[in-house]
Structure 1
Amino acid sequence: MILKSLLRAQAARFTALDPLLPEPADPPEGVVLTAALAGGERVAGVVVRTIHQPGAPQTLWSTRDVRELHPIVGAAGATGIDALLKRWVQRLDPAGPDSACLVTWPTRDAESTAPLLAHGFVPLTVLAVRTTPQPVSPAVCSVRRATPADLDALVELSMAEVEYAALVGGGIVRDDAWEIKRGTVAQHLTRGDPIWLAELDGVPVGMVEAWETDAQPGSWARTRVRAGRWVFVNCLSVSPAARGLGVGRTLMDVVHTSLLGPRSAGSFLYYNPPNPLSPTFWAKQGYRPLWTVWELRPASALR
């Protein structure tokens, strides 16, 4: 009963913060934390631990041992987040070096920034959305749908994105990164998922993966965006030698033109705010942050 009341209050607060936020979903199964505030009110949260096995695609952008807190703080905001994080410190299980604590929270909730920073979290990733069409720019390269014959070029380009992301804290270049990328890209090609390849004078210089997804009740997408049909941009990568020429913009124009239609709610993607290229690029494409993924590595650094 208390959780339902907190969820209703949190839904009202989220709507006031950002009209694009979906209504908060019921918490997942996990370890329940509760904390009392100074006025006697209580807040709650659920901690879900996920272990990614070696070779899993997630290990290229995530630690293998992930503990994620799902706060349910009603209208409490920063005070509720702070109280939950203090409680989490007391309940945290031992963690090794390849581990992290995560909290995904609305980007526009500026007042909750202070307690997250105070407990050691950094804003490592954002989920950004685009709901308004933007003008299409003149193409600077040729773009075509990739085929299985392009696998080697696609793997090399997608690895360039992982390696650059690792410089700014998001990606992790594992020993088996090439094998993981080759397997996932090959799987997308086999399924017919849209992948486009950009070429300059016949040389591959960029690629993008994107596909449509329905944000329906019970789906992962529905916990992050409002109900509707969305385009999810999974990976955009431009070779180091071709960056700054407009290749990424041309690729995204193709994605938006090809996949977004009259019934589309919009498109969304993840990028790393510490990346010096991403925030400006995606803002120019019409994307703006909706959720911030606050992360702390290793999990034992939680304070």
Structure 2
Amino acid sequence: MRAAWRPRALDPLLPRAIPLPRPAAGDVLLCVPGAAGVYRRKRPDPESFDASWCAADRHELHADLTGPDRAAALDALLTAWEEHLVPWPPGADAEAVFTWPSRDAALVPVLRGHGLTPQRVAAVRPAGRTVPWPRRAPEACVRPLGPADLEAAAALWLAELHWEAQFGSCVIRPSTARNVGRQLAGALGWVAEAGGRLVGLLAVEDPRRTAWAARLARARHPGYLTSLMVSPAYRGSGIGTALVRTAHAALEEAGCTVTMLHYAALNPLSAPFWHRCGYRPLWTTWTGPAHRGRVNGARASVPPG
């Protein structure tokens, strides 16, 4: 009999297990050979900051794969999930979402076969990894974010969100600008100043409030980086790297054993930059029109167990 699969065998920075959420009102419990799942539908408050990070109608699948053939089990679970999804018209503010460990490459053909594509990556960096020095000294002064910087810093963050929105990782809503300002008002952050104006911003979540991130990674005290933006004219000048080095030093001094962040999987700039800074993918969020079934009606390609 094959031993039960453990996430840490795949990636030592994953938690010991991937538990299903406790069922809530409206959840649908799914059970197929070798897997169990929870289908949860969410409609975030449009005035909340969460609404800027997902569709207005979000259909989530949470999975526990217990059988010896995990690819076949996931294929069956996705099929069972699709049977509960109500088709939505093209262009609807809706999405089907499934998040799973990035290194589980054996399941990628199954996910692609069901019409899902990578949307966001949760990346992790263990403390102590060195960030390479910029190729040349940045043409800017890096200093802590202060109250007088909030308006300009919020404009930088909002510009970053508009850039990210084209990759599907966020949604610009009427409440987004207001919530960006609120987030920055209580954030720990640093700015880069050149020629008398802000050209870079990095913000992190207060390390005393990041216990939630321990559900994603094996970490006693995780740090979380919420935003990095460098004005287009200054990209490639070393400002981003200087901001990241400053933030890492502060988080490690605060006792953070890992730092996490999310980036858009389709952003051509994010992955290369963050990987150079010592981050690697831990979780990938897949999204797509799961209500339409498999790609072109073809059966998902399931590797032999």
Report if the CA contact (8 A) 1:33-1:47 is conserved.
yes
**Change in 2 beyond 3 A, CA 1:58/1:243:** same
Provide the aligned length of Structure 1 versus Structure 2: 282
Bigger Cα displacement from structure 2, 136-145 vs 77-86: 136-145
- Tell me which residue corresponds to 1:222: 214
Matched, 1:137 2:133: yes
Report if the CA contact (8 A) 2:214-2:221 is conserved.
no
Amino acid at match of 2:101: P
Report if the CA contact (8 A) 1:212-1:230 is conserved.
no
Q: 2:82 aligns with which of 78, 89, 106?
A: 89
TM-score (normalizing by structure 2): 0.85
**Change in 2 beyond 3 A, CA 1:86/1:214:** farther
Matched residue SS, 2:253: coil
**What whole-Å deviation, never above 9, does each CA across 1:26-50 have from its counterpart, x for those lacking one?**
31123210113xxxxx311111222
Matched residue SS, 2:205: strand
Structure 2: which 5+ runs fail to align? Answer: 295-305
Amino acid at match of 1:90: E
Amino acid at match of 2:143: R
After TM superposition, the structure 1 = structure 2 runs for residues 94-243 of structure 1, keeping only pairs within 5 Å, are: 95=88, 97-131=92-126, 132-135=128-131, 137=133, 139-140=137-138, 141-186=140-185, 188=186, 193-211=187-205, 213=207, 220-243=212-235
Q: 1:34 aligns with which of 24, 27, 31?
A: 31
Amino acid at match of 2:14: L
Matched residue SS, 1:91: coil
**Change in 2 beyond 3 A, CA 1:213/1:182:** closer
Report if the CA contact (8 A) 2:41-2:59 is conserved.
yes
After TM superposition, the structure 1 = structure 2 runs for residues 70-89 of structure 1, keeping only pairs within 5 Å, are: 70-74=62-66, 75-89=68-82
Residue 215 of structure 1, CA deviation: 9.6
Amino acid at match of 1:100: E
- Tell me which residue corresponds to 2:4: 9
Structure 1: which 5+ runs fail to align? Answer: 1-5, 37-41
Matched residue SS, 2:123: strand
**Change in 2 beyond 3 A, CA 1:92/1:80:** same
Residue 178 of structure 1, CA deviation: 2.1
Instruction: Give, in whole Å, the separation in 2 of the partners of 1:198 and 1:51.
Output: 37
Report if the CA contact (8 A) 1:101-1:302 is conserved.
no
- Tell me which residue corresponds to 1:3: none
